[in-house]
Structure 1
Amino acid sequence: MDHDDAVKVAHRCHRVLDPLHSLIYFAPETEERLTAAGLRPGRMSYFAGRSAPMGPVGPGVVAATFYNFNPELVARHIPRAWTLADPATLVAARFEAAEAALRRLLGDELADSATVAEAAELARAATAACTGDGRPLYAGHAELDWPAEPILVLWHAISLLREYRGDGHIAALVRSGLSGLEALVTHTATGRGFLPEAAKKTRGWSDEEWDAAVAKLRDEDVLDADGGLTAHGTAQREEIELDTGRSALAPWLLLGEQRCARLHELGRELSRTAVAAGAFPAGVFADR
């Protein structure tokens, strides 16, 4: 694969594999397992569950690595979560939740199939090219022991690939000069992310904070008077996505074109099955 083809392949593989990881944030099994481990229901499960592989870190670390959440929202749940359940217990509970959710959505026959075993082998092979340099959230997850069950090997491998790409995306946002809130505002302005009201609600930003960010971005010619992206803002977001793609190439270059195509094929089948079984609220993931 040449460089441009590799960027496209990396994006395509990310899109078909990501639902198999991201379903953990919507599955009822997640909150069931994490609250049984001691956490309070709601956002605490998300913040503590995802950051637990980094150990009992403070709210500043979680806000920095998650990037677009209001630090005040994070601080309502971290570090209190670590007084209710230790990170190792939460890591184990999250794996249990992932397996339960995947088996419910895929069915035991597919979850234990050769399709999953092959996809797991390919995805794990891809992670061998990932490094922790400048990627703290990925590095925390990469230090976890590999599970034994193929369905969890697949989930963990996709989680590593996702956090690896995500850390690179944050680096691209930092290079662009966008704060976490500004990145969220411009993402909604692309029309491919949350609507503003949903973004504010889920990420913990007030109307006043959001409006101040919008005003600043208008002054910088990133947003127009209607809140849409200007030509400059569009070019900035396009460069961020290209930068993100370039920084995520290593796993896919290692696999090579044929194995990437096979993993894409397998991942697409599995993701479509999970989505069709109700893994996400309507409209969260379009057909891939």
Structure 2
Amino acid sequence: MKKIGILFGKERSFPEAFIEKINSQKLDGIIAEPVRIDKVVQGEPSGYAVIIDRISQDVPFYRAYLKNAALTGTAVINNPFWWSADEKFFNNCLATKINVPVPKTVILPSRELPSDTSDESFSNLAYPLDWEGIFSYTGFPTYMKPFAGGGWKNVYRLDSIDDFFNAHAETGQLVMLLQEEIKFEEYYRCYCIGGKYVRIMPYEPRNPFHLRYVADFAPTAEKLAEMEDIVLRLNKYLGYDFNTVELAVRDGIPYAIDFCNPAPDAEVTSVGQENFEWVVETAAKFAIEKAQSFEPGKDNLTWGEYVVRSSGKQALY
């Protein structure tokens, strides 16, 4: 029996529907269930052919469990080794090398010294930074946000240099990005599953949270194809099996704003019924594909093109 597990936290609608979607098909030799962990022993298999990870970004114990599971053959979605290494600034840097438009972005050292460091720990850092060059590059208005993490936490919109220094003083030990504001005409949030299945959803981030998927943008077939290509290209290089890409369209050009969302929102109350049904059905379809191709004891992870080209390993899609 090949088991497909889902590891999750407080969310309920997606995990329950995902399990039901797979089990309702009554596939020979495949079953889905919530992951159950009663002990984690080094080098011992998890018992799952596939695990969908929805929570390890917040629980280090789960991340360690998933790495052990992956090492012993489980196809973990998303790859916990890459997810542990990935962050938003690197993603933007990578986008510039694969011809995906992104906002002008710089990374900033934390306002406060990291714990267990002192001024002497930063012998290579200029003081002051070239603030004139930084502000000239990004312009104003600009956004400041953590270089890792998500959920619109610690995000600032800034209109001036004074705004920046006042806000930066509040960020403590967080490493922040400063990013050009893209004043968009249209905005889209795009699911990408398995590096091949894409759903482009009109999205209005300026609306209240529960109304953000209520948007009437109507892209042409040509624009849809262009956005799908961007979404697929990014996920091919990053190697994510389950991700969302946010695209802001300015002057007809789709800019990738946020594309490091490996546990993207999939709750029916926020994404809406049609999007929810698509993500449940497509995630279940891909998990079944991974279970059917599972080879015990082998590396069943997806590795992105960036890692593949560096290592010589053949890409999985």
Which TM-score applies when normalising by structure 2? Answer: 0.28
Of structures 1 and 2, the one scoring higher in RCO (CA 8 A, sep 6+) is 1
Instruction: Give the structure with higher Rg (CA).
Output: 2
Higher strand share: 2
